[in-house]
Amino acid sequence: MKKGIHPEGYRLVAFRDMSNGFTFVTRSTVQSKESVVLEDGKDYPLVKLEISNTSHPFYTGKMKLVDTAGRVDKYMSRYKKHYDKKKNKE
């Protein structure tokens, strides 16, 4: 490995999947303003994730649509209007 290009200061950080509440701890250099106390009684910096391997459809085998802002519904309603216009012209 090249010297001087990798970060120093790794520490234990808790990552929480917000879609199912799964939390795991690993070493990281990511900064966080929040913290959490886990079952072991220790306080860890907390990083919130939208999706992880415990909720991703590829790993779970379940098709689950993650749409927190309603973007898919907005797109579908917009597309429906254009589709209706095109259908009426025919």
Q: Is residue 63 part of a domain?
A: yes
Please give the pLDDT value at position 60.
72
Please give the pLDDT value at position 51.
83
Distance from C-alpha of 26 to C-alpha of 7, rounded to nearest angstrom: 15
| Structural domain count, the chain | 1
Please give the pLDDT value at position 90.
63
Q: Is residue 5 part of a domain?
A: no
pLDDT along the chain (90 residues), means of 10: 85 92 93 93 92 75 62 72 69
Q: Please state, rounded to an integer, the average pLDDT across all residues of the chain.
A: 81
For 43, counting Cβ atoms within 10 Å of its Cβ (0-12 exposed, 13-18 middle, 19+ buried), the class is exposed
pTM for this entry: 0.61
Please give the pLDDT value at position 75.
73
What is the residue range of 30's domain?
A: 11-89
Q: Is residue 3 part of a domain?
A: no
